[in-house]
Amino acid sequence: MTNVDWRSRFGRGWITSVRNQGGSQNCWAFATTALYEAMIRIEHLLWTRRSEGDLARGTGKQAWDLGNIGEGTIFVERYGLADPDCFPWGEAASLYTSKPHGANLQATPLSTTPDRSGRTMRIAAGATVTLTDPAQKRQWIDLVGPMAVILVPPADFGSLRDGIYMPTTSALGGAHALLVVGFNDDERYWIVKNSWGTASWGVGGFGKISYDAGLLENVGFTGLRGTNPDPWAKRRLRNGVLVQGSNGALRNNFELFVKAGANIDHWYRENADSKTPWARVGTVRSTDVWRDTFHDDALDFPAAVQSSFNRDFELVYRSNYRKLRHVYYDQAGGLWNDATLLGPQDPIGIPGFVQSNRGAPGDFEVIAVTGDGRAHHLTKHNSTPWTRTPGEWYGQQTFGSGIAFSGPSLVQSKLGVTASPENGQGELHYVCTLSGGGMAHFRRASAADGWTQLGTFGQDATEAPCLIEGTYGAGNETGVGNFELCVPVAGGHIEHWWRYNASPGPWNRSAVFGSDVRRVLGLLQSTYATNLELIAERTDGRCQHYWRDGAGWHAGPVIT
């Protein structure tokens, strides 16, 4: 006998929180969205929230329309599936309920934001499978993941609370969609996730349906594999020169941007095989090699993001023009482009660089440190208008004192995010190294509050830290993960620090590792069992890859 429950398996949670479809008939959109969220979590170890409103509205459905999982699949194959901030369910529901029954809706854009192409998870044609044989369905759920289903349950189905559902009437209710998240062969029941909220059905919105009820044995289950998550959902998990993008067979290649003389080199690692070596991006023709090497004014390594501008790569680095330079890779055109020079004159170190929650597309935020030990916060509004034309960066605030080293340690946190986006867009956090070797932690809760110092921690740091917000401690897609920070210290080693964010506490040092390290250039939490991956600059000027798994930190290959 086999028992499977994806709510808690292999020591982790895999199923996103239960939603409430309200009075709509869009249960099919909720079950389909729940399937995509679950498979992104299973395939990429990424908690993400997708929009039922985007799916329902994109397929042209109104609140009283019952669609099907196949329609949802076609839509996602063609257009992807956006996050709720791109197209919220509440907006879709208001569009529906504002019309009387039978009325036609006016044609509207798929999204309320112009950067939908960079905020949608994607699938390829043929990513789904439909199974009807109960043994095959259980095997898929065991080996691959949950499956979505539409059925016509008895009229008493809504009365289920605790226990295992068996019908008490032959009268049928309306068609309804569910996500099947597991099964129990010992006690002979399926485990399902509903979309009627957490209080009125089952236990916390999950229920058990007996095999002997005959409801799920002969209906088709839809499964999915090969999800391609969007960079917007992964942006907190990486910082600095290293990005885990969506290229490659498993849509999870590493992309690395390093300084080579005065140029920037683009490297990658194909992650379909973990032993694949790092290689420069380029085209080989005969005996000549065209490398993806660009620009000739770099004084230092860049900070990189993959933005919601159609998944473009964006870099900011110190230029020999005595300012920071912003460049971007146009995914549509296949070329690197200049954006603009920005920031204070003669910055030091690597800047902090993120795409924040503010606006749509989200604003770019940069922190640059100058030789007088002060940090300068700069912003570029991307939403008004949606363009990269020069002259749009502006200074927000200068803060701090005695800052010796600047690094890729700016994070758009989930802390402070509320249901009212205009008031709770989330906090910005920044950590830097002070002249005495300690580290200072700053927070910007809102524009009105400005930057304030939360405290200091550590000692003997010899360069700037690199900071991310991971998923450890998050619990589900609504939770806030821990801060993870790595910083070089005396002796050429790296210290790993973390801070619990569910109820923010002190910083804790967890490990010391590495040798001959000058700087930490990049840090990310990867899809390899949520391993931490790190790129360090060595004292000989080359770059080295380190990673942390359950056995601790390991020294990897020297890359450049």
Whole-number pLDDT of residue 288: 45
Q: Are 268 and 335 found together in one domain? A: yes
| pLDDT above 70 for 96 | no
pLDDT higher than threshold 50 for residue 327: yes
For the residues 351-359, what does the mean pLDDT come to? 95
The answer to whether residue 285 sits within a structural domain is no
pLDDT digits (tens, 9 = 90+) for 539-558: 999 999 999 999 999 999 99
Give burial (CB, 10 Å; 0-12/13-18/19+) of 204: middle
495-542: per-residue pLDDT in tens?
999 999 999 999 999 999 999 999 999 999 999 999 999 999 999 999
pTM of the model: 0.93
pLDDT of amino acid 3 = 96
Query: Is residue 248 domain-shared with residue 148, that is, in the same domain?
Result: no
For residue 387, pLDDT beyond 80: no
In this prediction, residue 110 carries a pLDDT of: 55
Report the pLDDT value the prediction gives residue 106, as an integer from 0 to 100.
Answer: 31
Q: Is the pLDDT of residue 417 over 60?
A: yes
pLDDT of residue 103: 31
Residue among 307, 301, 252, 258 nearest 117 (CA):
307
pLDDT-based confidence at 102, cuts 50/70/90?
Answer: very low
Average pLDDT, the chain: 91
Return the percentage of the chain with pLDDT > 90, whole number.
81
CATH number at residue 400: 2.120.10.70
**Alpha-carbon distance values, 439 to 68, 158, 369, 403, 537 (Å):** 54, 55, 14, 9, 20
- Let me know whether 219 and 361 are in one domain: no
In the chain, pLDDT over 70 holds for what percent of residues?
Answer: 91
Q: Is the dihedral of CA 527, 528, 530, 531 positive or negative?
A: negative
Same domain, 236 and 175: no
Residues 458 and 395 placed together within one structural domain of the fold: yes
Helix axis angle, 27-44 to 69-79, nearest 10°: 50
Q: Which of 224, 245, 269 is the last residue of a domain?
A: 224
What CATH code is carried by the domain that includes residue 38? Answer: 3.90.70.10
Helices (H) and strands (E) in the chain, counts: 6, 39
Q: Are residues 71 and 207 in the same domain?
A: yes
What does the pLDDT read at residue 272? 86
| CA-based nearest residue to 452, from 463, 435, 440 | 440
Mean pLDDT across the stretch 209-230?
A: 97
Tokens found for residue 304: 């990189």
In this structure, of 167-171, 422-426, 492-496, the range with the lowest mean pLDDT score is 422-426
- C-alpha pair distances (Å), 16 with each of 19, 36, 84, 85, 318: 9, 10, 14, 17, 41
Please tell me the predicted confidence (pLDDT) of residue 62.
Answer: 76
Q: Taking 50 as the threshold, does the pLDDT of residue 109 lie above it?
A: no
Q: pLDDT for 117-173, tens place per residue?
A: 899 999 999 999 999 999 999 999 999 999 999 999 999 999 999 999 999 999 999
Q: How confident is the model at residue 228, as a pLDDT? A: 97
Segment among 89-98, 165-174, 376-385 with least mean pLDDT: 89-98
**How many C-beta neighbours within 10 Å does residue 89 have?**
24
On whether residue 47 sits in a domain, the answer given is: yes
**Residues 460 and 507 reside in one and the same domain:** yes
pLDDT in tens, 457-479: 999 999 999 999 999 999 999 99
Which of the four pLDDT bands, split at 50, 70 and 90, describes residue 287? very low
Where a domain ends, among 176, 204, 224?
Answer: 224
Instruction: Find the domain containing 214 and state its range.
Output: 3-224
Together in a domain, 250 and 376: yes
Check whether residue 215 and residue 274 sit in a common domain.
Answer: no
pLDDT surpassing 50 at residue 284: no
Q: Which pLDDT does position 383 carry in this prediction?
A: 82
- Which pairing describes strands 364-370 and 410-412: parallel, antiparallel, or unpaired? unpaired
The answer, yes or no, to whether residue 107 has pLDDT greater than 50, is: no
Among residues 177, 193, 224, which one ends one of the domains? 224
Given the DSSP bridges, would you call strands 451-457 and 439-444 parallel, antiparallel or unpaired?
Answer: antiparallel
Residue 339 CA, distance from chain mean position: 25
Using CA atoms, how far apart are residues 266 and 274, in angstroms rounded to an integer? 19
Q: Is residue 470 classed as helix, strand or coil in its secondary structure?
A: coil
- Asked if 298 and 429 sit in the same domain, the reply is yes
> How many domains does one find in the chain?
2
- Same domain for 517 and 452, yes or no, is yes
Question: Does 394 score more than 70 pLDDT?
Answer: yes
Interval 35-56: pLDDT, tens: 999 999 999 999 999 999 999 9
Q: Among 168, 185, 205, which residue's Cα sits nearest to residue 16?
A: 205
Same domain assignment for residues 341 and 205: no
User: What pLDDT score does 389 carry?
Assistant: 58
